[in-house]
Amino acid sequence: MLDVHDISRSFGTRKVLDGVSFTVGDGRMTGFVGGNGAGKTTTMRIILGVLSSDSGHVELDGRRLTPADRALFGYMPEERGLYPKMKVAEQIVYLGRLHGMSQAAATASTTTLLERLGLEERASATVESLSLGNQQRAQIAAALVHDPDVLVLDEPFSGLDPMAVEVVQAVLSEHAAKGAPVLFSSHQLDIVERLCDDLVVIADGRIRAGGSREQLRESHSEPRYEIELSGDAGWVREQPGVSVIELDGRYALFEVEHGSVGEQAAQAVLQRALAAGAVTRFAPVRPTLAQIFKEVVK
């Protein structure tokens, strides 16, 4: 488990991170979301030890992180870059060796990765001669060459073509399935929503929310239901314990309280509807991540 503990950091007089704490569980895909300048990149850089924090620390499995631990991390910085004049395979082998791999192990791992990413034919081309999409794939290979125990990826999906997005998703899930903590940030909330188990929301350098996706849904929005009737739905407004959000002819979207009281109120709506006629739809409405995000950072 990766445990970020009360980290603060200022650049000059500007406080970029203020007491940031969250955890990334083993085998949990953790999405890290926040607006531009919220502190995601700074937090990730501090986790990787690329940047130092003014206070606070990061633990892995209850121990303070050491450089030796960090060598086992796979890191993909937000601002991509490799040596333009180095050959793809050579470069990835070099980065593998910098992570402590032997020449043979780094070469073997590079070959496997490049094949998997569909880049094996460009292995001896220089990075600058690759297309942008292929450069992104090479970047992914660079982050994964040493078969990392922990993944920290800053915007791993930005700039990827749809095929590469799929590959990266598969790789992330694979690592998580092996029990590795995986932390990734993204602006693409739909991808985060599809992929993550846990969520950490940061705004203005403070953690606004964190926990499992479902938990967040519950705590940051009232349970909502939608119902579609054969007749007019206007009567729903009069139901006790129910507040209607949207009403459109035979359709109603309403909110109830948390817990069993709310559930009973929703069931009461359904019973009355059934008594009145046919019900074509009745379902709980899951708030999207985008809605939760807006709710949390507001």
Partner 1 sequence: MSIAAPQAVRLVAGREISMRLRSKAFLISTGILMLAILASIIAGGILSASATAPKVAVVSETSSAVSALGSSGALELTTATSVQDAEQLVRDGTVDAAVVPASDPLGYEIVALDAAPTAVVQLLSVAPTVQLLEPSDNDGFLTYLIGIAFGVVFFMSAVTFGSTIAQSVVEEKQTRVVEILLSTITARQLMAGKVLGNSILAFGQIALIAVISSLGLTITGQSALLGALGAAIAWFVVFFVFGFVLIAALYAATAALVSRQEDVGSVTSPVTMLVMIPYFLVIFFNSNESVMAVMSYVPFSAPIGMPLRLFLGDAQWWEPLLSLVILLATTLLVIAIGSRIYANSLLRTGTRVKLSEALRG
| Residues at the interface with partner 1 (CB under 8 A) | 45, 48-51, 67-73, 75, 77, 79-86, 94-95, 97-101, 142-143, 146
**Cβ proximity to partner 1, 43 vs 221, nearer residue:** 43
C-beta of 50 vs 278, nearer to partner 1: 50
Q: Where are the alpha helices (DSSP H) in 17-59?
A: 40-48
* Token code pair at residue 54: 């003014």
CB of 99 to partner 1, least distance (A): 5
Q: Nearer to partner 1 by C-beta: 151 or 209? A: 151
Task: Report the nearest approach of partner 1 to the CB of residue 82 (Å).
Answer: 5
CA distance 227 to 281: 5
Pairing of strands 73-76, 150-153: parallel
Which residue matches tokens 């992929």?
A: 195
Nearer to partner 1, 44 or 289 (CB): 44
CB of 292 to partner 1, least distance (A): 30
Q: Give min distance, CB of 113 to partner 1, in A.
A: 15
Shortest gap between Cβ of 81 and partner 1 (angstroms)?
A: 3
| Element of type H or E holding 183 | strand 182-185
Q: Do 24 and 175 contact (CB within 8 A), yes or no?
A: no
127 or 199: CB nearest partner 1 = 127
Q: Are 250 and 271 in contact (CB under 8 A)?
A: no
CA 270 vs CA 235, 236, 242: distances in Å: 12, 10, 12
**Beta carbon nearer to partner 1, 41 or 186:** 41
Compute the least distance from the CB of residue 289 to partner 1, in Å: 28
What is the closest distance, in whole angstroms, from the C-beta atom of residue 53 to partner 1 in the complex?
Answer: 13
Q: Which is nearer to partner 1, 126 or 169 (CB)?
A: 126
Q: What are the structure tokens assigned to 89, written together?
A: 């395979």
Please name the amino acid found at residue 177: A
Bridge partner list, 7:
20
CA 266, CA 272: separation in Å to the nearest integer? 10
Residues 72-83 as b/e (b if ≥16 CB within 10 A, e otherwise) read ebbbbbeebebe
Q: Are 166 and 177 in contact (CB under 8 A)?
A: no
